[in-house]
Structure 1
Amino acid sequence: MPKTQSAQLSMTGKQKAILIVLLGAQFMFAVDFSILTVALPKIGSDLGFGLDSLQWVSTAFALTAAGFMLLFGRIGDLVGRKKLFLIGMALLTVSSLVGGLATSPELMIAARVAQGLATAVVTPSGMALITTSFEEGPLRTKALGLNGALLSLGFAGGAVLGGVLTDLLSWRYDFFINVPVGVALFFAATAVIKESVSEDRPKLDVPGSITVTAGLLAFVYGITGAEREGWGSPQTWGTLLVAAVLLISFYVIELRAAAPLAPVRILKANSVKFGNLGGLITFSMESALSFLLTLYLQQVLHLNPFQTGLMFGFLGLGAFLGGTFASKILARTGSKGGMVLGLAVQGVMTGVLFLLGENKTMGIAAVLVTTFVGGFGHVLAIVSYTVISTSGIEDSEQGLATGLAAMTQQIGFTLGIPVMSAIAASQYGVLKNGVASKAGVLDGTTFAILVDGLVVIAGALVIAVLLRSANSSTSAPVRAASDEEEPSLTAAH
Structure 2
Amino acid sequence: MTTADTSTTAASAPPTGARMTGRQVAALMVLLASQFMMAADFSVLNVALPEVGVSLGFSTGSLQWITTTFALCAAGCTLVFGRVGDYVGRRRIFTAGMVVLAVSSLVGGIADSAAMLLVARTLQGLATAAVTPAALALLTTAFAEPSLRTRALGLNSVMMSSGFSVGAILGGVLTDALSWRWAFFINIPVAIAAIAVVPLVVDESRAGQRSRIDLPGALLITLGLFSGIYGVTRVGEQGLDLTAGVALIAAAVLLSVFWTVESRTVDALVPVKVLRKPDIAFGNVAALFIFGGETALIFFTGLYVQNVLGLSSLVAGLVLLGIGTGQIIAGVVGPRLLQRVSPRTMLGISLALQGAFMLPALWATADSRWLIPLIITQFVNAFFSMMAALCFMVIATSSVDADEQGMATGMATQSQQVGIAIGIPLVSAAFATVVGQGTATAAKELTGIHVAIGVAGVSQLAVGLLLWLVLRSKFSSPQ
Counterparts of 1:186-201 in structure 2, within 5 Å, are 186-201=195-210
Q: Which runs of 4+ in 1 moved over 4 A?
A: 4-8
Find the partner of 2:456 among 443, 452, 458.
452
Residue of structure 2 equivalent to 1:339: 347
Tell me how far 1:307 sits from its aligned partner: 2.0
Maintained 8 Å contact 2:108/2:181: yes
Aligned to 1:383: 390
2:147 equivalent to 1:143:
no
Rounded to whole Å, the distance in 1 between the matches of 2:170 and 2:181 is 13
- For residues 253-332 of structure 1, what are the structure 2 equivalents within 5 Å? 253-332=261-340
Code of the aligned partner of 1:195: E
Equivalent pairs, count: 467
Q: Comparing 332-341 with 182-191, which one deviates more in the overlay?
A: 332-341
1: distance between equivalents of 2:125 and 2:333? Answer: 31
CA contact (8 A) 1:64 1:120 kept: yes
Letter in 2 for 1:265: K
Q: Which amino acid aligns with 2:261?
A: I
- CA deviations 1:221-261 (Å, max 9, x no partner) are 1112223332x201001011011111111110001112111
Partner residue in 1 for 2:470: 466
Distance 1:9 1:437 in 2: 57
Decide which of 424, 439, 457 is 1:435's aligned counterpart: 439
The residue aligned with 1:480 is none
Matching of residue 401 in structure 1 with residue 408 in structure 2: yes
What do residues 185-241 of structure 1 show as CA deviations (whole Å, max 9, x unaligned)? 1111021111101011110111111111111111111112223332x2010010110
Give 1:474 shift: 5.6
C-alpha distance after superposition, 1:65-93 (max 9, x if no partner): 01101100110111110000000011101
Within a 5 Å distance, the mapping from 1:113-124 to structure 2 comes to 113-124=122-133
| Correspondent of 1:158 among 157, 167, 170 | 167
- Distance in 1 (CA, whole Å) between partners of 2:250 and 2:119 is 25
Instruction: State the 1:366 CA deviation.
Output: 1.9
Distance 1:216 1:44 in 2: 27
Please state if 1:127 is matched with 2:136. Answer: yes
8 Å Cα contact 1:219/1:243 also seen in 2? yes
Q: Which residue of 2 aligns with 1:105?
A: 114
8 Å contact 1:271–1:391 — kept in the other structure?
no
d(CA) in 1 for partners of 2:251, 2:49: 29
SS in 1 for 2:267: coil
- Map 1:335-374 → 2, pairs under 5 A: 335-361=343-369, 363-374=370-381
CA contact (8 A) 2:18 2:148 kept: yes
Root-mean-square deviation (Å)? 1.6
Structure 1 CA distance, aligned partners of 2:90 and 2:441? 51
Q: Which moved more, 1:145-154 or 1:123-132?
A: 145-154
Structure 1 CA distance for aligned equivalents of residues 224 and 309 of structure 2 = 41
TM-aligned CA distance change 1:5 to 1:434, over 3 Å: closer
Per the alignment, residue 487 of structure 1 pairs with none
Is contact 2:280–2:399 with CA below 8 Å preserved after alignment?
A: no
- Cross-structure match for 1:44: 53
Is the CA contact 1:152–1:320 (under 8 Å) kept in the aligned structure 2?
no
2:80 is matched with 71
Amino acid aligned to 1:344: A
Q: Distance in 2 between matches of 1:5 and 1:420?
A: 41
d(CA) in 2 for partners of 1:207, 1:152: 32
Q: Which runs of 5+ in 2 are unaligned?
A: 1-12
SS at match of 2:434: coil
| Counterparts of 1:179 and 1:465, CA distance in 2 | 46
Please say if 1:34 is aligned against 2:43: yes
- Name the CA distance, whole Å, in 1 between partners of 2:127 and 2:17: 34
TM superposition shift of 1:181: 0.9
Shift of 1:174: 0.6
Residue by residue over 1:324-361, the C-alpha shift from the partner in whole angstroms, topping out at 9 and shown as x without a partner, is: 11101112221122212321331121011111111111
**Runs of 5+ consecutive residues of structure 1 not aligned to the other structure:** 478-493
- Residue aligning to 1:210: 219
Structure-2 residue corresponding to 1:250 = 258
If asked which structure has higher relative contact order (CA below 8 Å, sep 6+), I would say: 2
Q: Which letter does structure 2 place at the counterpart of 1:304?
A: S
In 1: Cα distance, 2:116 partner to 2:425 partner = 27
